[in-house]
Amino acid sequence: MNKTLNMTAGRPLPLILRFCLPILLGNLMQQFYNMADAAIVGKFVGTGALAAVGATGSILFLVIGFVDGMCAGLCIPIARSFGADDHPLLRRCLAHAVYLSVFFAILLTAVTSLSLQWLLTAMNTPADIFADSRIYLRIIFLGIPATIFYNLTAGLLRALGNSRTPLLFLIFASCLNIVLDLVLVLAFGLGVMGVSLATVTSQLAASLGCFFYIRKHYPMLRLCREELAFDQKITWRMLLSGLPMALQYSITAIGSVLIQISINNLGSLLVASVTAGLKIHQIALLPINTLGAAMATWAGQNIGAGNLERIQDGVKCGMKIQLVYSIGIGLLLFFFGKAMTLLFLDPADPTLPQILENAQAFIRANCCCYILLGTLTVYRFTLQGLEYGPLAMFAGIFELAARSAIAIFGAPVWGFDIIRFANPAAWVAACILLVPAYCAVMHKIRNKK
């Protein structure tokens, strides 16, 4: 029996929390095996290998962020069709989502593989970690089809309100990833190559699990010949939903790339510091990111059903959830973030005290501003669910402008002291656009109705 969750009826807060919980647990599992990657590399291969993986973070965010955003955007028309109870349109949207996913899988794999050397050179990747960074990224880029496959199948299930099943397959994949890490790194001595191979293999396993589950439990998604026919209007609608969300992630990532270049210029020691701090930061933000996925599905299903008041009620609940969480996690990291970074570092490393001080400075600069990030997440993903993706994308341009200003003008003068405030500055810039944009969109929809 499938576990679809209809979000067009019932109390908003319990529904949003019920939808969020499996996604959050799945994201925690994903971060857990990412932590395992970092811990195994940092402790058993060395600080240099940890820095090599960390130096690729912004490039991965640029590419994988595009993939994540595109797949999430492609699933929004599906959520809207499900909310409107229009199953024939839902299946046609699904067919075109598959077509576009295959196209972008081929395109992105080819482009990233061919431009890998240039990307690392353009980012001023330190010479002592250049080779390991190239090996790690090459394998991850060759695994882009598996990444798209998983994101599309998991996104499809979530669009139908089923956030539990992707969790179960992700738990399996997380366990598989850790086992492969230990085997490939410790037993076979493959270093960063082993970590990247484990990541791609486990993600492919999760995507196959979701695919076969959908085939067995969702007969309403089985396509007939007529529904497979190419439709230019549906393709355009899917692109208008998927591309702005993908570009939003990528535009944000470009700013991160510029910041990463500034960090790389300061040496591998600081790269390791920021990498350790980012691991804690990424774990802390999982509930906020999860809330974003819930808001997109909430808005998509309810706009399909024509429930404007429920959309607003959901936004209010989302804001309450993020406020409570942002304050709590911010206080925790402000006082204990430094100790948490020891999970990713070698206690015998002679540079450990300096790395810890830098990591603590980075964490504190970010955790004090989580309320801003929570706010932009609620409004950004609600706009995405309403199929107003270009507005959310423009917020990404505001973020890019803030990060670029710090990277180009601030970093050469103040160095790490200003770089650590790049994320908060970007969040402020995005909120300036997103909050009034949401109000304007709801006013427009209400007038049309």
Q: What is the pLDDT of residues 221-236, one digit of tens each?
A: 888 888 888 889 999 9
Q: Where are the beta strands (DSSP E) in 180-242?
A: none
Length of the chain as a residue count: 449
Residue 341 pLDDT > 90, yes or no?
no
**Structure token pair of residue 405:** 């200003």
CA distances from 45 to 184, 185, 436 (A): 12, 8, 49
What is the pLDDT confidence band of residue 46, given thresholds at 50, 70 and 90? Answer: low
The answer to whether 127 touches 266, Cβ cutoff 8 Å, is: no
**Structure token pair of residue 177:** 């990833």
| Cα gap 235→193, rounded to integer Å | 38
Give the pLDDT score at 2. Answer: 45
To the nearest whole percent, how much of the chain has pLDDT over 90? 26
The answer to whether 272 touches 355, Cβ cutoff 8 Å, is: yes
Residue range 270-279: average pLDDT?
Answer: 79
Single pTM value for the model: 0.74
Give the pLDDT score at 105. Answer: 93
| Cα gap 276→341, rounded to integer Å | 6
Residue scoring higher pLDDT (268 or 315): 315
What is the pLDDT confidence band of residue 1, given thresholds at 50, 70 and 90? Answer: very low
| Cα gap 449→433, rounded to integer Å | 25
pLDDT tens sequence across 344-376? 676 777 788 888 888 889 999 999 999 999 999
Least confident window among 92-106, 157-171, 423-437: 157-171
What is the pLDDT confidence band of residue 40, given thresholds at 50, 70 and 90? Answer: confident
What is the pLDDT confidence band of residue 34, given thresholds at 50, 70 and 90? Answer: low
| Cα gap 295→291, rounded to integer Å | 6
Residue range 89-97: average pLDDT?
Answer: 91
Give the pLDDT score at 64. Answer: 82
Most confident of 93-102, 156-165, 180-189, 294-303: 93-102
- What is the torsional sign of CA 259, 74, 81, 159? negative
What is the pLDDT confidence band of residue 142, given thresholds at 50, 70 and 90? Answer: very high
**Structure token pair of residue 32:** 């857990």
| Cα gap 268→274, rounded to integer Å | 10
Residue 327 pLDDT > 90, yes or no?
yes
Write the CB contacts of 86 (distance below 8 Å, at least 6 apart in sequence): 304
Per DSSP, the three-state class of 380 is helix
Give the pLDDT score at 54. Answer: 67
Give the pLDDT score at 55. Answer: 67
Residue for token digits 């992630």?
A: 249
Domain range annotation of the chain: 29-448
The full DSSP string for 49-71 is HHHHHHHTHHHHHHHHHHHHHHH
Residue scoring higher pLDDT (104 or 255): 104
pLDDT tens sequence across 384-422? 889 887 888 888 888 889 988 998 898 888 888 888 899
Most confident of 44-48, 113-117, 118-122: 113-117
Q: Would you report the helix, strand and coil content of the chain in percent, each value rounded to 5?
A: 85, 0, 15
| Cα gap 273→294, rounded to integer Å | 32
Residue range 427-432: average pLDDT?
Answer: 93
Name the average pLDDT for the chain. 85
